[in-house]
Structure 1
Amino acid sequence: MSDTPVNEMSFETAMAELNEVVSKLERGDVALEDSIALYERGAKLKAHCEAKLKDAEEKVEKITVGPDGAATGTTKAEGV
């Protein structure tokens, strides 16, 4: 598990760590206190990934299409 703050992670990094957390919890060989810490970290990672996906979806929705059907540009989503 990384010491990097979740809000500083890329989507890919956060997903990789979330998969690692889930794997550790599913094995069930982690002490209770460590399981709680892993679960909390996993919840933060999940929320971060969901927010990153939402931002990406908003950017895709803002792509404008010209009369010929080709994308003519994008506008940046608010707060990104």
Structure 2
Amino acid sequence: MALIDKLLARGAPSGAAQKRKTIVRVLLDDAGTVQDVVLKMSCGDPQKDARALEEVRAMRFPRGQIGSGTVRRWHELAYAVD
């Protein structure tokens, strides 16, 4: 598993297993800037889904790197909602 995938997997707050989650796909450029966010699975509440998409768009991530080159990739992120 790539480092960026490990960091994204830890993105949900602790105790999130008991909360409903919105699953999003996020496209990061080679600098770790969010380029696009797509809803993959709803938590069941459209307002919370919209808030999750908005907050993920504002996040910053570490550079995506494989070997000595940088990459632009899609990642899945589980976002816990209250």
User: Which is bigger in relative contact order (C-alpha 8 A, separation at least 6)?
Assistant: 2
- Structure with the largest fraction of helix: 1
- Structure 1 length as normaliser, TM-score? 0.31
- Structure with the largest fraction of strand: 2
- Structure 2 length as normaliser, TM-score? 0.31
Is the radius of gyration larger for structure 1 or structure 2?
Answer: 1
